[in-house]
Structure 1
């Protein structure tokens, strides 16, 4: 099927065990801290060893501020759709638009029946799910006239008042495997959410075909359906099989799934904190780089049929207009000149500049997308730096408490805060290192071959990469001091300030000099 061109996202799939109820909450908070876009939880209301997923999501929403949340997937047979719609909308409003809705037709029917649910055949489950989607969308559609009315075989709602509307357009993602569920996904849903472990070779391609055909029959663009995937695996020094090996292997395999099968959201099923850190710090940025490079090189998203096809009414679908070239419109992020540290790692006045752009040259949207990607990647690093500062201040507040006569338990909690900060800083340093390694080994040589006039700029950028790595080592040393002495906050703050100065200055310089050459020469 190929690439649908959706922006990439990365999530965690956590087990809501109730033996240590705080553990899953801590994992969700950690996932946000290390940069995940999404945190999801199993939903098995009949499982007494699990927390109730919607109660858990509400608690996690209150403990986080940016990460999106979803059940993976909601057990519909035990959750009436009208009530579920209001639960989703309410939590979306309370969380500032951070809730999505994964839905399943149901499984483990004996357990569902034991909880008071109705046992359904596979066909009945699909029909019940289709009716439930109608109910949910009508509840959210507060602009429509009249009450909610669905007189279905399994769900009957006769005039219920609409609302509340969610804070944002909540995505409905279906956990689908069989043809009828896949067809429903294409015609009615916003996303397809299977688990890789339940798929056979070729199932992703076959599923995409059914979804795409069903979407077109319903008058929709197949690209309206996001493709998500739950994945599991093992990090190891040497590769032994699919998703069983080093982070570089994971990145290559997930990038291939994005480009060949259109997967744009990868959700890691693991309750191991180190797995979550490695996935966010090493795998996710590398996948973004690999996919962006292929997209910029000319891999066309498979979002429309190659030739015009008929709509359900028989009218021809107009082909998409060709990209029109125009002036260069990508705006580099300026250096605001703010410096927090008195230390200067380099002399900014000695930075070379590259060739002036040709004012007569036109750039296609495809050209400019590659240039914009550099800024997007840098914006991710800037956001992570802000999170790092926030976390330093949070832990600093914990150290103030350490100055009082706290109990041994409180002291251990503060040590845990230190440990969390340390691992997060290390994860952030790995993100920066991975980004710079990809530039030095891939993008920079390509630009050097494409335009020899860029050599002085590229030489300087590579030198600054090495200098930034030295600054990262200073952060590491400050972390050691922070954990080992009573008050290492001053040294840690100074190290992070220096990291902020050098990194933000470098990113602005790199964008100023490279966005136009990347648009002109491509990424590889």
Structure 2
């Protein structure tokens, strides 16, 4: 799998308001490919993701910026479409869109903020409807009509038009949502603490089979991975020295499982610097010679 990319999933803590923007600038300078932000609008200890993405776009030059992942229950799809298009225009085509159904363990907080109460199945239905709405508002030449179970549009005017075809990435673990990734998604992002490397082949096969059934090329779907680890001497996934990290990540790329890695729960800019200097180049070298 060609085109391995590296990024990070940053946490926008309210008590450190400049951290994520400064770290995004640093990642831009260090040669990372993409910087992402988590989105938990119901936590007052977090800054707003949309506002921070705007600041990150303004203060970077080349790196792709994206949410990892927008909380769909608290963000109406028409507004997501216009926000995403605006960020893409402002960045010159450097925005990608990550969408999440809303974690089931967070529904009490979502409802407390005025969001809907949905079952797991209803959340997947809503995600599918929202994706169709968002794409229609980006591309339609006519006013958008949509009558779904969870969302309705009664002739919404399309636009603005993004600078480039924005990819829509889903977070998914269960088979039904994995099938939706294959059927209509542009990318997939699980997290290593919740989906370990040994589970990737099974999940990827579900995505691939669904893509083929929908007439979509499995190779067109990007495969991301939020990865958590530390540099050390321990056994296990991402617990060793940088060279061990590089070998483990390259194996996932060469096996066709993952093409984009996001560092998860980053604790310091020094960690970003060390990964950029000692891991990312080694992974690319192993992939190019593998």
- Which TM class, normalised by the smaller chain length? over 0.9
The answer to whether the 8 Å contact 1:99/1:170 transfers is yes
* Alignment-derived partner of residue 177 in structure 2: 181
* Rounded Cα–Cα distance in structure 2 between residues aligned with 1:97 and 1:285: 25
* Alignment-derived partner of residue 131 in structure 2: 133
Structure-to-structure mapping, 1:34-49, within 5 angstroms: 34-49=30-45
Of 29-38 and 121-130, more deviation after overlay is shown by 29-38
* Rounded Cα–Cα distance in structure 1 between residues aligned with 2:123 and 2:2: 30
* Alignment-derived partner of residue 266 in structure 1: 261
1:157 to 140, 153, 156: 153
* Rounded Cα–Cα distance in structure 1 between residues aligned with 2:53 and 2:201: 32
* Rounded Cα–Cα distance in structure 1 between residues aligned with 2:279 and 2:234: 15
The answer to whether the 8 Å contact 1:172/1:189 transfers is yes
The answer to whether the 8 Å contact 1:140/1:164 transfers is yes
Shift in Å, 1:34: 1.1
Of 261-270 and 112-121, more deviation after overlay is shown by 261-270
* Rounded Cα–Cα distance in structure 2 between residues aligned with 1:74 and 1:95: 18
Structure-to-structure mapping, 1:55-94, within 5 angstroms: 55-94=51-90
* Alignment-derived partner of residue 218 in structure 2: 222
Question: Aligned pair in 2 of structure 1 residues 186, 34: CA closer, same or farther (>3 Å)?
Answer: same
What are the Cα deviations for residues 112-167 of structure 1, in whole angstroms up to 9, with x where unaligned? Answer: 000000011000000000000000000000xx442112200001012101111111
Aligned residue for 1:235, secondary structure, equals coil
The answer to whether the 8 Å contact 2:30/2:273 transfers is yes
Query: 1:250 and 2:245 equivalent?
Result: yes
Aligned residue for 2:102, secondary structure, equals coil
The answer to whether the 8 Å contact 1:235/1:275 transfers is no
Shift in Å, 1:193: 0.5
Question: Aligned pair in 2 of structure 1 residues 247, 56: CA closer, same or farther (>3 Å)?
Answer: same
Stretches of structure 2 that go unaligned for 5 or more consecutive residues are none
Aligned residue for 1:24, secondary structure, equals helix
Q: TM-score, normalised by structure 2?
A: 0.97
The answer to whether the 8 Å contact 1:231/1:266 transfers is yes
Stretches of structure 1 that go unaligned for 5 or more consecutive residues are 295-524
Aligned residue for 1:40, secondary structure, equals strand
Aligned residue for 2:211, secondary structure, equals helix
Query: 1:102 and 2:98 equivalent?
Result: yes
Question: Aligned pair in 2 of structure 1 residues 271, 98: CA closer, same or farther (>3 Å)?
Answer: farther
Q: Which has the larger radius of gyration?
A: 1
Shift in Å, 1:200: 4.3
* Alignment-derived partner of residue 113 in structure 1: 111
Greater strand percent: which structure?
2
Structure-to-structure mapping, 1:501-512, within 5 angstroms: none
The answer to whether the 8 Å contact 1:46/1:115 transfers is yes
Greater helix percent: which structure?
1
Runs of 4+ in 1 over 3 A off after TM superposition: none
Question: Aligned pair in 2 of structure 1 residues 221, 52: CA closer, same or farther (>3 Å)?
Answer: same
Query: 1:166 and 2:152 equivalent?
Result: no
Shift in Å, 1:239: 3.8
Aligned residue for 1:51, secondary structure, equals coil
Q: TM-score, normalised by structure 1?
A: 0.54
What are the Cα deviations for residues 476-512 of structure 1, in whole angstroms up to 9, with x where unaligned? Answer: xxxxxxxxxxxxxxxxxxxxxxxxxxxxxxxxxxxxx
1:207 to 179, 203, 217: 203
* Rounded Cα–Cα distance in structure 1 between residues aligned with 2:117 and 2:276: 40
* Alignment-derived partner of residue 276 in structure 2: 280
Query: 1:123 and 2:118 equivalent?
Result: no
